[in-house]
Chains A and B, each alone.
Chain A
Amino acid sequence: MSQTEVLYASTYEAILARQSFIELGARERARALLDVGSFRELLGPFDHLESPWLPLQGIVCQADDGAVIAKGRLDGEPAVVLAIESAFQGGSIGEVSGAKIAATLELVLRECEAGRTVRPVILFETGGVRLQEANLGLAAIAEIQAAIVALRRHVPVVGVIAGMVGCFGGMSLAAALCSYLIITKQGRLGMNGPEVIEQEAGVEELNASDRRLIWSLIGGEQRAATGLVDGLVEDDVAQIAAAVRAAFAQGRPTQARSERVAHYLDLLARVDPAAIDGAAMRQLWNQESL
C-alpha cells in the first residue's frame, strides 16, 4: 500500500520533550529536518535574488523572496529541502520564490537521471500565487508541477504541511502530486482558501470564520482519515523528521494518488452532494478502500 500511517503515542513525557516545528521559520525548519551539520543553503539571503516586481508596487522585498533551498543529507543520503517562508507575503509564490523551487526540482531531476539520487522534500506553507506577480507566479507553479511529475518517477517527492498557513491555490495541486504527504492536525490542505470561497460563493456556502467546520473539511486529521495525505504527525520536530525519513525508506509508491483516476471517479460517483460532509466522506472513503 502507498498509504503510511505515522501515528505516535502522545505520552506525557513525549509531549514535554516536543519541539514545535510550526514555530520555526523556513530556514530553521530545513535545518531541523536535515542530518545534523549537513545544512547548506543555496541562493541564500546574501545572494539577494529578490522579486523584481514588488519594489515597483512599493512593497519591501525579502532577500530570499520567501523560499529557502537547503542542500544536505537525510539518513546520510544526499537531500534537498525546499522550505516556503509563511512570514513573507503569506508564503505566496512569486517569480523568484517559484523559480527557486522549480529550478531546484529540475536540477534534482538531472542528478537523478545521471544516477545520482537526491531526496527532495518540500515544506508547503503557502496561499498560492503571489497576486502582485500574478501570471509569473502561476507560470512558476506550472513548472513546479511539471518537475514533480517528472522527478517522482526517480525518487519519492515528500511534502510536509505543518501549518499554520496551510497549503492552498496552485501549490495545493503541487502538494497533491507529491509521492508522500505528511500533515499535522494544525495543517490544512485545499484548493481555495475558506475566505475565497465565502467571497465567491457566499457565506451560506461556507462560513470562513467557523474554524471547526473548516478543519472538519480540510484539516490534517480529516485529510489523513480519508487518505488524501499519507501521515498525520504531531507538531514536533522529531516526529516530522522521522516521518520524512520513513517516507524515503518506503521508496516510490506503485501508483501516485493523482494517478488513481478510476478509483476516485468511482468514489465520486457514490457521493450524494446533498448529504456529504466530513463524517460521511470518512465512512464512504474507508468503506471503499477496503
Chain B
Amino acid sequence: MSASSKTSSNTPSTSASRGRIWFDALAGVASTRPPVLSADADLAGETAQFISVVPDPAQRFPRACDNVVGLEQGWKLAQAVRAVIEADASASLKRPIIALVDVKSQAYGRREELLGLHLACAAAVDAYASARLAGHPVIALIVGPAMSGAFLAHGYQANRILALDAPGTMVHAMGREAAARVTRRSLEALDALGETIIPMAYSMHAFNQLGLLSHLIQGVNADAPTSAEIDIVRQALSAAVADARLGPNDLSGRLTSPAAQKNRAASIEVRRRLAQQWQAE
C-alpha cells in the first residue's frame, strides 16, 4: 500500500483497531488470541460466531504485525471457520458466521511468499466458501479497509456483505497511493478517474453502486459506537442472516440488484451469451 504503511506495518498504532472495537462491541470476550479473534455470541436470540483480524505486535512474522492477512492470519481464519463447520456438522440450523472486516492489505514479505501466503489466504477462502455451501449464513461487516487479497481471504466469500458508511471504510484492489504509482497517475488524476470509472473509485458509495453490498449502514460512528448504534448494526446483521437463509448458497445474488444490472452489465451479458453458446452444439 502507501509509503506510510511501510512504517505502520512494523509498528501498529496503540489505539484499538476497528476490528477490535467491533469485536468487543458485538462479541465481547474472544476465545482466541490475536491476530485472529473469534467467539460465539448472541445475535438476536441465536448464537453466531464472530471473527476478526486485529493487530498483533507480538507476531513472529515481522511483516504481519498490523491488521493485515499474513501466514498465521490466513491459516487461523481457516481454522476458526472450519471449527464452526465441524461443530454444526449435524445441526439442522447452521449458526451464522460474521466476519468483521478491517484489513488494510495482505502481508508483503519475502518469508510470506516463500512459505505460501497465497495458500494461507486460499485456505481462508476455502473455509468461508465451504461454510456458505454447508448452509451457514456468512455475513461480512466492513468496519475499516477491506483491501485486495486480504478481503478475498476474509469477507468476500460471504452470502451478504454489509458496510458501515463511515470515514475509513473502503473496498479496493490496491491502496490509493500505490495504484497511482503503478498506473502512473497523480492522486488527483486517480480520484478524478474514480468519478467516471466506478470500479476504480475509493468511496464506499461508489462501491455500493456495483451491487456487491446488501446494506450500507448509515449513521454509525465506526470508532466509538454508542450502544444504540451497536443495536442498529446488530439489527442489520440479524436481517442479513435471515435474508441469507432464504437465498441460494452461491454468490449469484450479487448480480441481481438494479445496481449490478447497471454497473455489472458486462458480467451479466457474459453469462447470458455463454449459456447460449454452451448449449449450441
Contacts and interface: CB of A to CB of B under 8 A. Distances in A.
A95 B109 contact: no
Interface string B101-137: 0000110111111111111111101110110110000
A150 B153 contact: no
B200 A132 contact: yes
A129 B129 contact: no
| Majority secondary structure of chain A interface residues (helix, strand, loop or mixed) | helix
A257 interface: yes
Residue in A173, A177, A202, A222 with the greatest tally of chain B CB atoms within 10 Å = A173
Interface stretch (A4-12, A137-145, A244-252): A137-145
B199 interface: yes
Nearest to A47: B273
A140 B129 contact: no
A75 B207 CA distance: 44
A104 B270 CA distance: 10
| Majority secondary structure of chain B interface residues (helix, strand, loop or mixed) | helix
A42 B273 CA distance: 9
B156 interface: yes
B6 A201 contact: yes
Interface in B133-164: 133, 148-149, 151-153, 156-157
Give the contact-size bracket for chain B: 35 or more
A49 B113 contact: no
A265 B115 CA distance: 11
A169 B149 contact: yes
A107 interface: yes
B109 to A, nearest CB: 6
Contacts of A273: 60-62, 111
B228 interface: no
B269 to A, nearest CB: 7
A271 B274 CA distance: 46
B40 interface: no
Contacts of B105: 200
B274 A100 contact: yes
B64 to A, nearest CB: 10
B114 A192 contact: no
B187 interface: no
18 contacts: A42-B277, A43-B270, A49-B270, A53-B199, A128-B173, A132-B200, A135-B173, A146-B157, A146-B251, A176-B116, A192-B113, A206-B110, A228-B119, A258-B78, A261-B123, A265-B75, A271-B111, A271-B115
